[in-house]
Each structure stands twice: as structure tokens, then as C-alpha cells.
């Protein structure tokens, strides 16, 4: 299948059923008990700083593990698997002094996911598999000060964030992704830089790909870390006409549900949700079982408030398998038609009919 044929197949599948995204990558990599040597490989054996913990670099140094994880999630029933590139920008990789490897991380991450998706599509042609290019949040924010004594202080500029995302999206595109997933968004202005980086690709001769945007509500306040409500967040990013919008991370399914229901009411596109396996315990681990996660998400699907479901922190292929089994045969959410109005946003939404 060509990329445009895959995109058409993805959109057709979304009309017919609830799509399934993969689960957590960090927890699965941690279970491998990898050593520093695994992260370094031959290419980075003399790198001056520790690399253990930089999971994205494994796309280069342990591609076998990354390929196996894609296979595990596709085998569990995932329609879409993310590239292992959550922190693969020059800004985020600066923590490991790996800025020079960013292009290769993204390209190889996309290539590995593409190979796995194509294998499973060839094996099960009735259920094509797709690749989402993962673009995670940065370790710096444009909307909030980096110095409590200076409200205007910022560690980066918009142009620097834009350039960092531009390198990432070009490499992901050339590596073969089907869509871009800007995820775990804490800062809407960072997200806008990522959106601009994607949209500007068209002016440089790249074929357009769908955009999927997933924010995160950081606590019970119902707001992103930069202070926006769910509706204000949607109003801020809907101009790019995303393929899907949703929430992931931070909360378990029970606490995320009202915010997903709100998105389902206001968003004139697909709605996605991939919550954590509950909240972390005192040891930072996640105790929610696959059955418990699937039970929660089955209710959402039965109520018709979601189009795409998956898992975030603490979820495994078993969680994804149970979710896929629970929602099989249930109809996806119907996209609402909202009356035309001028809809703006700061921290709160504003609507003028």
C-alpha cells in the first residue's frame, strides 16, 4: 500500500470501529533490565555521559527490542503503534548530549515501526496496521517562566522549539509514518510550534499527513499545566483541523472520563483517550490490572464518547489486548455538528455566536 492508500484505509477504519492504539513503552523497556552497554551499543560506546534511561536511543542501539515491542502491541490487537521517539528532539536530547543523533533516532524509529506495521498488514490484510510518529512534550515551556523571580524568563524561544520539532517531523516523515501524534501536551504554545512545523512541511514538498493531538490534564483541576481548560485547549488547536484530538497520561481512566466526555461534546473530529493504568502507588508503580482498565474503557465506548482507545503509563500488551476485546463490535463516537461561531481561548474558552 502507498502512504495515501494507508491514510485512506485509516480514515475508513475509523468510521467503522473504535481504533486501538498501543500502550506504554517505558514500562516495557524497563522490564528488559537493560544495562548501560545496551544504550551505548558500538556507535556510542565512548560517549562522555551516561545514556541509560534515554529510551529513544534504543532505536539505534537495540532495534531488535523496539521491533519486538511493536510486534507485541500489534499482536495484542493494536491498529496503531507509536514510534519510540517521544523525546527525540534536539532540546530533549540535550540532557544526554545526543543532539547530533536526533535525525537518526527519528528516522530509525519510524522505519522500525513501518516494518512491523507492514509485516502485520501482510499477515492480516483485513486489519491494516498504522504508524503514528510520536512527538512528546519538551523539558522546557514557552508559556511559563523558568524563574519564579522573573515572569518573563524563558529558556527557549518559539523559533527554537519550532526548529527542534521541524527536524523531528522531517525525519519521521521520511522514515515512513502515516500520521503525526503530538502527545502528552502540557504547554499549548509548545504544541503550536509542533503544529506549525508539521504544516510547513507541505511548503517544502512533503506530502501532507494527518495530525493527532493529545493533551494531558495534570491534576483534578481539569486544566493543562499551562492553565487551560479542555475546551480552551481545543479552541487553541482546532485551526489545524486535526484527524483526532484527545487526552493521555497523568490520570487514570476514572479521573479522565469527565474531560473526555467534554471533548466528545465539543470536538468536530475523532476523540482519543489513552489513560494510565490508574494512579501510581507509593513506589511509583501502576497497579490497575488489564481487566480493570478494559472495564473502564468499555463503559466509555458503550456511551459513545470515544473513537480511539489505548494506554499510557503502566499499560502493557495485556492491557491493550483486554481493551481491544472489550470494545470489539461497539460503534465509534459520532462526530457532532456544532453551530458556527467565533470560538477563542485564553485560559478559558470564549464563544461569540
The annotation status of 191 as a binding-site residue, yes or no, is no
User: What residues does 180 pair with on adjacent strands?
Assistant: 133, 211
The annotation status of 312 as a binding-site residue, yes or no, is yes
- Collapsing DSSP to helix, strand or coil, 150 comes out as strand
222: alpha, beta or left, given left = phi > 0 and alpha = psi -120 to 50?
Answer: left
Instruction: Name the maximum alpha-carbon separation found in the chain.
Output: 62
Angle between helices 63-75 and 317-327 (to 10 degrees): 20
Identify the burial level of 144 via C-beta atoms within 10 angstroms of its C-beta, where 0-12 means exposed, 13-18 middle and 19 or more buried: middle
Q: For the chain, how many residues are written?
A: 353
Angle between helices 317-327 and 290-302 (to 10 degrees): 30
Q: Which residues are annotated as a binding site?
A: 249, 312-313
Q: Which residues are annotated as a binding site for Zn(2+)?
A: 249, 312-313
Amino acid at each position: 500500500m502507498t502512504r495515501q492508500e494507508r491514510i485512506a484505509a485509516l480514515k475508513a477504519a475509523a468510521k467503522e470501529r473504535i481504533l486501538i492504539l498501543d500502550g506504554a513503552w517505558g514500562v516495557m523497556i524497563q522490564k528488559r533490565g537493560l544495562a548501560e552497554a545496551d544504550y551505548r551499543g558500538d556507535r556510542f560506546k565512548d560517549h562522555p555521559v551516561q545514556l541509560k534511561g534515554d529510551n529513544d536511543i534504543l532505536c539505534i542501539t537495540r532495534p531488535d527490542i523496539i521491533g519486538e515491542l511493536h510486534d507485541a502491541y500489534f499482536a495484542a490487537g493494536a491498529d496503531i503503534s507509536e514510534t519510540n521517539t517521544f523525546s527525540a528532539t534536539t532540546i530533549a536530547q540535550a540532557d544526554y548530549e545526543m543532539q547530533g543523533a536526533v535525525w537518526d533516532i527519528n528516522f530509525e524509529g519510524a522505519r522500525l515501526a513501518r516494518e512491523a506495521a507492514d509485516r502485520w498488514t501482510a499477515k492480516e490484510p483485513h486489519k491494516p496496521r498504522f504508524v503514528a510518529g510520536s512527538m512528546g512534550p519538551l523539558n522546557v515551556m514557552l508559556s511559563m517562566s523558568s524563574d519564579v523571580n522573573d515572569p518573563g524568563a524563558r529558556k527557549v524561544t518559539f523559533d527554537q522549539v519550532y526548529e527542534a520539532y521541524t527536524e523531528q517531523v522531517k525525519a519521521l516523515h521520511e522514515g515512513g509514518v502515516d500520521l503525526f501524534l503530538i502527545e502528552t501536551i502540557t504547554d499549548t504554545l509548545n504544541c503550536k510550534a509542533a503544529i506549525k512545523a508539521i504544516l510547513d512541511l507541505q511548503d517544502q514538498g512533503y506530502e501532507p499527513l494527518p495530525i493527532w493531538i493529545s493533551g494531558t490534564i495534570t491534576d483534578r483541576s481539569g486544566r493543562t499545566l499551562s492553565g487551560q481548560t479542555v475546551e480552551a485547549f481545543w479552541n487553541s488547536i482546532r485551526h489545524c483541523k486535526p484527524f483526532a484530538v484527545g487526552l493521555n497520561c497523568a490520570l487514570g481512566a476514572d479521573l479522565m472520563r469527565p474531560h473526555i466526555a467534554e471533548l466528545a461534546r465539543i470536538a468536530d473530529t475523532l476523540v482519543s483517550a489513552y489513560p494510565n493504568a490508574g494512579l501510581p502507588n507509593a513506589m511509583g508503580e501502576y497497579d490497575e490490572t488489564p481487566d480493570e482498565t478494559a472495564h473502564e474503557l468499555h463503559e466509555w465506548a458503550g456511551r459513545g464518547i470515544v473513537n480511539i482507545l489505548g494506554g499510557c503509563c503502566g499499560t502493557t500488551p495485556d492491557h491493550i489486548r483486554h481493551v481491544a476485546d472489550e470494545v470489539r463490535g461497539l460503534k465509534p463516537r459520532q462526530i457532532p455538528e456544532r453551530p458556527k461561531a467565533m470560538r477563542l481561548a485564553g485560559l478559558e474558552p470564549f464563544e461569540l455566536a
